[in-house]
Amino acid sequence: MFYRAAKPLLFRLPAETAHTATKRLLKAGQGTRIEDALTARYRVDDARLRTSAFGLDFDNPVGVAAGFDKNAEVPGMLAALGFGHVEVGAVTAEAQPGNPRPRLFRLPEDRALVNRMGFNNAGADVVGPRLARTDAPVPLGVNIGKSKVTPLDEAPEDYRYSYERTAAGGDYFVVNVSSPNTPGLRDLQNRDHLEAILGELLDADARPLLVKLSPDLTDGAIEDALAVVDDLALDGVVAVNTTTERPDTLRSHNRAETGGLSGAPIEERATERVRFVAERTDVPVVGVGGVSDAAGAYAKIRAGASLVQLYTALVYEGPALARDINRGLLGLLDRDGFDAVEDAVGADL
């Protein structure tokens, strides 16, 4: 009810300004009775939602994708909103301001966002100690990106620095080589670069270690990346990041903005990519892209996702979203005769 009233006011603000204001409100309530009240209102406690992936236990499969809490400022409050895990970042070795503003755009007619943020964050030296002080009740993932100033051939050392500074506070780590907003970053998805980066992190004992892939990769390129995942015995795959492509169905004038598209327009494609990945690897898959309701989350789970993540839908649906998805998942499990969400993973494969 509150968000329904506040949403028109927030949507009058530039998208990034509204996001910053929302995070400030969450930060003000973190560690207070407000956090306890939100937990009581939004968390769904049901054993059927519990699941395990890459050696970690999750109270439910619905998480916050990287990008919402870049600097690990409000993971406790996001957990209080009912999410089963929170992925912070992307974190880079160097603090960086990101690309010039404006760089985040709503596409309300399409229930989508376009961003060209450029890995703006406070840097691993700031985020790492903050994470280490965080006592969140859910698993925390750390999404690691390449610093813009770092040459591609020095990327392995750059990723390792970020990992080592955040290792004490993260429960799992995601190598982000798929954002479209850092020049040359997607080149790191080719086999030689990927092996070098992941090998460096494994040498640093980074575990659990996952890689996040782009939806714009060809089938062959995804298969090459998955071969690296299997050869190096990684712990999981995140599928997928934002897309630079623009479906013909987009209606908003902001469709012309450059950057990564997220939200409803990529949902079907993202689910197809989850299925493509799950059919070709035995490691857990985290499904991301367009999730906004229980039906969409369930489709990704049945396509092979052990966990799902969202971000864009929070902008349009508000703070009750995780609760609503988790309640809806329980109904869908009952409908299909599954005793637990884990039983539905890959049901459509």
Has 254 been labeled as part of a binding site?
A: no
Residue 53 labeled ligand binder: no
Residue 119 assigned as binding residue = yes
Q: Residue 238: which H helix or E strand, with range?
A: strand 236-239
Residue 343 to residue 272: CA distance in whole angstroms: 20
The DSSP line for 294-348 is HHHHHHHHHTTEEEEEESHHHHHH-TTHHHHHHHHHHHHHHHHT-SSHHHHTTTT
67 is in an annotated binding site: yes
CB 298 within 8 A of CB 329: yes
The reply to whether 121 sits in an annotated binding site is no
173 assigned ligand-binding residue: no
Q: Is 27 annotated to bind ligand?
A: no
Neighbours of 100 (CB within 10 A): 8
Q: Is 242 annotated as a binding residue?
A: yes
- Can you read off the two tokens belonging to residue 311? 């971000």
- Catalytic residue status for 179: yes
Residue 263 annotated as part of some ligand binding site: yes
Distance, in Å, from the CA atom of 66 to the CA atom of 174, rounded to the nearest integer, reads 9
Burial readout 34-66 (b: 16 or more C-beta within 10 A, e: otherwise): ebeebbeebbbeeebbbbebbebebbbbbbbbb
Is 90 marked as a binding-site residue?
A: yes
Q: Confirm or deny that 176 is annotated as ligand binding.
A: yes
- Consult the annotation and say whether 68 binds a ligand: yes
Cβ neighbours of 330 (radius 10 Å): 17
Burial of 334 (0-12, 13-18, 19+ CB in 10 A): exposed
Catalytic residue among 147, 162, 178, 179: 179
Annotated binding site for substrate: 70, 115-119, 176, 181, 241-242
Positions at the binding site for FMN: 66-70, 90, 143, 176, 212, 240, 263, 290, 311-312
Residue list for the binding site = 66-70, 90, 115-119, 143, 176, 181, 212, 240-242, 263, 290, 311-312
**Active-site annotation, residues:** 179
